[in-house]
Structure 1
């Protein structure tokens, strides 16, 4: 069996989950995430961080 933890999920008015009611404020709900999904999410975060750092370095070289 996979290990699962709750991960916050952001729901905004107009989402599929909000068909029959109006939300005044966004809600945070949890959903279960397995190990494979968690690893993929962490990998995406690392790639985004690396791309951001590379972009900042390139901008610094171009400006300096």
Structure 2
């Protein structure tokens, strides 16, 4: 069994489904049972349960690293 992925505040992740603004990239603003995310396209903030978040993540960049455009 794989070890669970660790996520940190400020980390950039790419989700499977795009936000209505067209962006796939989000910044993590809160971790725990629920994740707080901020859309990097329009700045909209959402909260989603950890289980749903972990299924939706396609790619996660290391903390402090900016993803290519």
Same structural fold, with TM-score higher than 0.5 when normalized by the shorter chain: no
The TM-score with structure 1 as length reference comes to 0.32
Bigger Rg, which one: 1
Which is richer in helix?
1
